[in-house]
Amino acid sequence: MWTSRHQILAPVVLSSGKGCELYDIDGRGYLHLSSGIAVNAFGHGDPDWLQALTHQANTHTHVSNIYCSVELAKRLVASSLADHVFFTNSGMEANESAIKLASKFQRSLHPSEKHPPEEWYIQCHKGVFGGIAHSLDSAGVLLVLDEVQCGLSRAGYLWAHDAYDIYPYMMILARPLAGGLPNGAVLTPDRVAGSINFGDHGSTFSSNSLVCSAAIAVLDKISKPRFLASVVKKGKYFKELLVKKLGGNPHAKEVRGLGLIIGIERDVSASPLLDACQQSGLLILTAGKGNVVRLALPLVNIRAGTRHCF
C-alpha cells in the first residue's frame, strides 16, 4: 500500500491513540515516533489542547478569515521578529503565500524591472547555513525560512533558526502549529506586508476559530523555557542511545538532528526498516533519497515507552 513517496507499508488500521501510543483495531499498540509527520507535538489527547478545543467548539468554530484570530497573531508576533501574520491551512499554502508576498515586495522595490523576481530554494547543512544566510542578506536577497517541520520547538528552540543565530525576512510555519489540526502561517515584517493590499490574498478556512484556539494552547505550552529545555534533553538522550545501539551496524552512517527531529543516514534504502519497525510496534518515517530514517518524536515524555524498543 502506498502511503507517501518513499513509504510502502503493510496496512495498519488505527482505531485510537493516547499520548505517544496508537492502537489498531486488533488492540495492538504502536509508538508513534513520527508524530503524524511532525504534527502531533503532544501525542494524542493532550488534556490542555482538548480543553481549548472543547471550549472553542462550544463558542464558535468558524467565522472565516474576515475575522482573524487576533490573539494567535499577537502571540506569534510577540515571540518572533515579525510584525504581521498571514494564516493558511497547510505548509504548502504557506509556502505559496510567502512566494506571492516576496514577489510583490520585490516588484514594489523595482517596479520598472522587465524580468520577474527569481526564486531559489536552498537546502544546506548546519556548517554553511549561517554563512549563506548572512551573505544573502547583505546581497539584498529576501531570505524566507521554511520552519514547517523544524520550527515550533521541535529543534529544541522555539524557532529552529535561533540555533544558527540568523534572522529571516519571512518565516513559514505549519505542522505542529495547531497540534493535529490543519494550520499554517507566514510571518513577515512591516516592510514586506506593506506590499500587499486588502483583497490581494485570501483563504476562507485559514484563521478558523477552532484551529486557532488549538494553536494558542500549543504555543502556550511549547514556548515555555522549561519545555524547550526538556526537548533538548530528550533529543540528546535519544541521539546518544541511537549512536550506542547502532555502533556495530555497518549500514548506519550518521545519526544527526537537532532536538527531537533525528535522522539516521544509511548507505542502503531505509524502506525495509520501516516495515520491520512497524512489525515491532514502532511507527517511523524516511527522508532524503529514501536512505534516511526520520524520527519526529512527540515532544512530550516518551522515554518510558521507548526504553524497551531499542
With contact defined as beta carbons under 8 Å apart, do 183 and 89 qualify? yes
Residue whose CB is less far from ligand PLP, 64 or 90: 90
User: x/- binding map, residues 40-79, to ligand PLP, per CB under 6 A?
Assistant: ----------------------------------------
Task: Give yes or no for residue 122 binding ligand PLP (CB under 6 A).
Answer: no
CA atoms within 13 A on the CB side of 21: 13
Which window, 91-99, 103-111, 188-196, 246-254, contacts ligand PLP (CB under 6 A)? 91-99
Task: Give yes or no for residue 99 binding ligand PLP (CB under 6 A).
Answer: no
Give the count of beta carbons closer than 10 Å to the beta carbon of residue 224.
13
Size of the site for ligand PLP (CB under 6 A): 8
Minimum distance from residue 111 beta carbon to ligand PLP (Å): 30
Backbone phi, psi, residue 40, to 5° = -80, 80
Task: Give yes or no for residue 218 binding ligand PLP (CB under 6 A).
Answer: no
Minimum distance from residue 54 beta carbon to ligand PLP (Å): 25
Residue whose CB is less far from ligand PLP, 95 or 230: 95
Task: Give yes or no for residue 35 binding ligand PLP (CB under 6 A).
Answer: no
Largest CA distance in the chain: 65
Minimum distance from residue 141 beta carbon to ligand PLP (Å): 19
User: x/- binding map, residues 168-207, to ligand PLP, per CB under 6 A?
Assistant: ------x---------------------------------
When CB distances to ligand PLP are compared, the closest residue is 91
Residue 265 CA to residue 296 CA, distance in Å, equals 15
Residue whose CB is less far from ligand PLP, 180 or 305: 180
Task: Give yes or no for residue 146 binding ligand PLP (CB under 6 A).
Answer: yes
Residues 31, 33, 148, 196: which binds ligand PLP (CB under 6 A)?
148
Residue 241 CA to residue 211 CA, distance in Å, equals 36
Parallel/antiparallel/unpaired status of strands 184-188 and 144-146: unpaired
Task: Give yes or no for residue 95 binding ligand PLP (CB under 6 A).
Answer: yes
Which window, 22-30, 84-92, 215-223, 243-251, contacts ligand PLP (CB under 6 A)? 84-92
The amino acid occupying position 134 is H
Residue 94 CA to residue 84 CA, distance in Å, equals 14
Minimum distance from residue 26 beta carbon to ligand PLP (Å): 30
Binding site for ligand PLP (CB under 6 A): 90-92, 95, 146, 148-149, 174
